[in-house]
Amino acid sequence: AQSVTQLGSHVSVSEGALVLLRCNYSSSVPPYLFWYVQYPNQGLQLLLKYTSAATLVKGINGFEAEFKKSETSFHLTKPSAHMSDAAEYFCAVSAPSGGYQKVTFGIGTKLQVIP
Amino acid sequence: NAGVTQTPKFQVLKTGQSMTLQCAQDMNHEYMSWYRQDPGMGLRLIHYSVGAGITDQGEVPNGYNVSRSTTEDFPLRLLSAAPSQTSVYFCASSYKASWAYGYTFGSGTRLTVV
């Protein structure tokens, strides 16, 4: 079984401040991990993914995430928040299940950026 | 533009009515799936397909049917709409039915059942 926990359904940061969105996972096999972003009234867009090549993963729009196996975490960060970063962010874990892909999404974290 | 196209974007149904949500992708993706998104519950998998002619149930399949006659299309059918099916529905595709690939999502269908 696999699961994803996103700590904090709402996070507020000031423009220019560090963005930190937390994600912890559980998986019985080495997982692949993803972050998606959803802007209002749109579908989800892949931000970045971890596939075991490197523990620090860089994504689009200046975001990055670090895979920490010992902490079962995959937190998303950005050094300086921009107004355009306001959106909902979803962490997802993907692992084999019966030979096929099984993806489990977290419940999402809404990021508010304050001018 | 290549991607996943969902129609309609909005729909209001009366309880008991049936309808089909359309999903088409032009990326020759092998894997397609349907999710519903509800506040505080994230995304939940309804049905998925690993190729033409092959479909299977996700975690919340009751009240929904799917078929995959072509690689490109993966329609979702609501058999007899219920208010509990009010939700935003997303179609997503992936190059392969493998855990290494991320999804490409459509823009969603917002369904209200009254």
Contact check, Cβ <8 Å, A46/B31: no
The reported pLDDT for the residue numbered B77 is: 98
**For residue B84, what pLDDT is reported?**
96
Q: pLDDT value at position B4? A: 96
Contacts of residue A44 in chain B, CB cutoff 8 Å? 43, 90, 92, 103, 105
Residue B101 has pLDDT above 90, yes or no: no
Averaged over B28-40, what is the pLDDT?
A: 93
The predicted pLDDT at position B82 comes to: 97
Pick from A42, A44, A51: CB nearest B100: A51
Q: Which of A8-22, B21-35, B41-55, B92-106 has the lowest mean pLDDT?
A: B92-106
More confident residue, B96 or A12: A12
The Cα B39–Cα A30 span in angstroms is 29
Residue B45 is predicted with a pLDDT of 92
A50 lies within 8 A of chain B by CB: no
Phi, psi of B79 (to 5 degrees): -80, -45
User: Which residue of A lies nearest to B5 if distances are taken between CA atoms?
Assistant: A43
Kindly state the percentage of chain B with pLDDT values over 90.
85
pLDDT tens readout for residues A85-111: 999 999 999 877 666 677 889 999 999
Q: Which residues contact A87 (CB under 8 A, 6 or more apart)?
A: A37, A38, A39, A40, A110, A111
How far A16 CA lies from chain B's nearest CA (Å)? 28
Residue A99 is predicted with a pLDDT of: 61
- The CA distance from B60 to A1, in Å, is 17
Q: Which pLDDT value is given to residue B100?
A: 74
